[in-house]
Structure 1
């Protein structure tokens, strides 16, 4: 393993470590994450510049150009009359820097299938930590820090509810934990079919089970969107009629189970998940719909939004504040950057999904490689469904999501390398046969 690999994997691990450390002490995630990302990225780029085998053109891809456009719009938001520079500074890392860094660095650094598997292994270690913390909360009670969040900061209002307790592990809230757990469930369950060794396949399946457990105890309904979205996406990428029909059958079966039956409703977690299939019967959902209608009236005169980081009233002192909570990431983007910013944001991600799909379906021939990378893209598809329902673009999700997109742009180069290595082995085999004959 080279230094460039080590540094990038440390960068990924550091984002998860910040969440894990928050079990013990209060961590200003945004500030520490910015310092870690920028410092480790600089180190990685220095190492790459000293590596003669570095192909910089890999970083000059469609994803990089798309997020340069988004960064340009983000910079223009400074001119928003309602802009608060402190909020703008805090949000530049998750909004613009992480996507751009991943777009350029990942295709240059990740050069083999083993590099991708190692990324999954790094992530898996922290999935286990997050699962153990969630298990401990459920079976042994909350820590002093957890109780402070629940009873002093007001977390009990949304985490100790009619359906039972929603466990949040090391995360800021149960929604963030549940969505991250379901992201792991989708990624590792798909990756388990394409891992190199039998033991790794078993290990990845175990991590997927950990993810499903975490999703269950979080009581997060939006996590179902991650599973359903991921399931449907893999049927498209598979380019296989059996996989397509199988995926459609499973999706319909899940929908019928939750929508048309009451099986298992005695279990609080199944009951909670089932409620996500009946949103019109949910009071909180109806309140969100009403809030969005009121927001629409206010946003009509805010084409560039209220300003970056100002979707939630009270966090910063701004001239104007949105009186209604956004309750989801995509609604927050709309409130903060206006209809212009939202259209640009959705267009960039729509193009990104289409481009990544085209790469995997028509540019990558190695089935195992395509499956490993598809696992990340399927997770991303489900994640953005959840992003419409909940504010889930929080640490450490950003780096995971945009690494997934960037791996699609690295995949054709890795595929070419696999083909070249296979060709060399075939040539060696032929030469040996000639010598023997």
Structure 2
């Protein structure tokens, strides 16, 4: 016994010596970096151990990488606050590849059987088609493929693989949803600051936001002297659609919650986040709620919720459609105009653009190549007609870049994933898992609906959450099987 105590004491002495040497080395490095780089050097010293610890955590538990990737996706729009050309998106791509590599390194703990999933086959089909698009002879600049292929299919394929095989628990899913709610509340309040900050004695917009508006954002974000709040998202369209989607989540949680305290909490969250949608001025985001909540009612397969929702929803729609109540409030007026598209000049312009595109694309069944329109098109081939006509829609962008064939494949993929999710959902028996999967599936459907009018399905963080969620609800049965085996 005495010998054992002596061994432990001796080992502790050696450990103290080792930690002391490491601490001394770190102090020397910190002093050098601060002397050379100033404050940035000090921040680097702090970030380096955190980065190493994060790397080790991801390598040991890859699902940590998925959670971190989801969180950082919400900050990509904040790049406008950073000086210099910082490629935040490439950093996220690196994190995704690292998580993929960690998944392979932990192969023994992964459930490879889950890859035998119709939704995963659909994603692979879309990935294969987008790879073939690199060789599209009508592409004006093939290297631009890499800039749009990430949001089109590559990130989806990586995330699908990782999410399916990793041992993700239902508590992990609930943590992801709660994190989503927290980010949405923060985003809503930042949007309120942009809209009402002057009334509270705060700056409405930071200098970086003013610079972004001056660089071209004002054309679509200041209408008739009224700011469309965009929070820390890429634009108001993305912000509004995200707020509408999370409003839907809060509504479903409220409908399925039995505890009164939690019900009041979800009502409060619904009001805050819904007004976040309102201050964005994104009219079409209303269809996230209409499409998603409609899907929720149908998937419930119960008459009572449908009747109750109709009793509440129909009067609201009638007020919006046939009266002018609330028109004095700009946000309500903007929401009302979404229900009258034929009277909206911007909607009519979109229809005209689509007619022009139809004439161009009639002999291009495979489109003009991925990366030929929108951001990458304007950057690399601004002289090409595909870059000169704004798509104003995710599906129209796919139509331009992948043709009618590619758009058809993509819609088939979305339908396949949704049908797989419904099939999984209707087989569930656990009420809590059913609620979680309803949330993910209905929000997915709502975003798919609104993507006709906004190109948000391929933007961070919307794309990240949809790509993760699509594989969660498409493999919903995994948790019920786990409950039976008590292994997860």
**What TM-score comes out, normalization by structure 2 length?**
0.80
Please report how far the alpha carbon of residue 14 of structure 1 lies from its aligned counterpart in structure 2 after TM superposition. 1.9
What SS is found at the alignment partner of 1:389? coil
Aligned 8 A contact 2:80 2:212 in 1: no
Counterpart residue number, 1:173: 235
Please report how far the alpha carbon of residue 198 of structure 1 lies from its aligned counterpart in structure 2 after TM superposition. 7.2
Among 96, 103, 107, the residue aligned to 1:37 = 96
Change (3 A) 1:19 1:36: farther
Please report how far the alpha carbon of residue 413 of structure 1 lies from its aligned counterpart in structure 2 after TM superposition. 1.3
1:94 aligns with 2:156: no
Counterpart residue number, 1:58: 114
What SS is found at the alignment partner of 1:133? helix
1:155 aligns with 2:155: no
Q: Deviations over 1:106-160 (max 9, x none)?
A: 2333543211111112222321321232122112211111111112x12112111
Q: Which moved more, 1:97-106 or 1:114-123?
A: 97-106
Please report how far the alpha carbon of residue 167 of structure 1 lies from its aligned counterpart in structure 2 after TM superposition. 0.7
Aligned 8 A contact 1:183 1:211 in 2: no
Q: Deviations over 1:378-400 (max 9, x none)?
A: 11111111100111121111111
Q: Which moved more, 1:217-226 or 1:137-146?
A: 137-146
**CA–CA separation in structure 1 for the residues paired with 2:255 and 2:321:** 30
1:106 aligns with 2:169: no
Among 49, 53, 64, the residue aligned to 1:6 = 64
Q: Which moved more, 1:233-242 or 1:91-100?
A: 91-100
**CA–CA separation in structure 2 for the residues paired with 1:167 and 1:365:** 42
**CA–CA separation in structure 1 for the residues paired with 2:318 and 2:225:** 22
Q: Deviations over 1:389-428 (max 9, x none)?
A: 1111211111111222211133111022234559xxxxxx
Please report how far the alpha carbon of residue 103 of structure 1 lies from its aligned counterpart in structure 2 after TM superposition. 2.5
**CA–CA separation in structure 2 for the residues paired with 1:403 and 1:255:** 33
Please report how far the alpha carbon of residue 339 of structure 1 lies from its aligned counterpart in structure 2 after TM superposition. 0.6
Please report how far the alpha carbon of residue 246 of structure 1 lies from its aligned counterpart in structure 2 after TM superposition. 2.6
1:388 aligns with 2:452: yes
Which is higher, the Rg of structure 1 or of structure 2?
Answer: 2
**CA–CA separation in structure 2 for the residues paired with 1:194 and 1:410:** 21
Aligned 8 A contact 1:103 1:402 in 2: yes
Please report how far the alpha carbon of residue 21 of structure 1 lies from its aligned counterpart in structure 2 after TM superposition. 5.2
Counterpart residue number, 1:348: 413
**CA–CA separation in structure 2 for the residues paired with 1:409 and 1:237:** 15
Q: Deviations over 1:303-359 (max 9, x none)?
A: 111111212352212784323211110100000000110111111111221221122
RMSD of aligned residue pairs (Cα, Å): 2.5
Q: How does 1:281-292 map to 2 (within 5 A)?
A: 281-292=343-354
Aligned 8 A contact 2:440 2:469 in 1: yes
Q: How does 1:249-328 map to 2 (within 5 A)?
A: 249-312=311-374, 313-317=377-381, 320-322=384-386, 323-328=388-393
**CA–CA separation in structure 1 for the residues paired with 2:86 and 2:268:** 30
Q: Which moved more, 1:158-167 or 1:29-38?
A: 29-38
**CA–CA separation in structure 2 for the residues paired with 1:366 and 1:154:** 50
Counterpart residue number, 1:243: 305
Among 374, 389, 409, the residue aligned to 2:474 = 409
Count residues in correspondence. 417
What SS is found at the alignment partner of 2:379? coil
Change (3 A) 1:219 1:69: same
Aligned 8 A contact 1:175 1:220 in 2: yes
1:143 aligns with 2:213: no
What SS is found at the alignment partner of 1:170? coil
What SS is found at the alignment partner of 1:184? helix
Q: Deviations over 1:289-308 (max 9, x none)?
A: 11111111111011111111
Which runs of 5 or more residues in structure 2 are unaligned? 1-56, 198-203
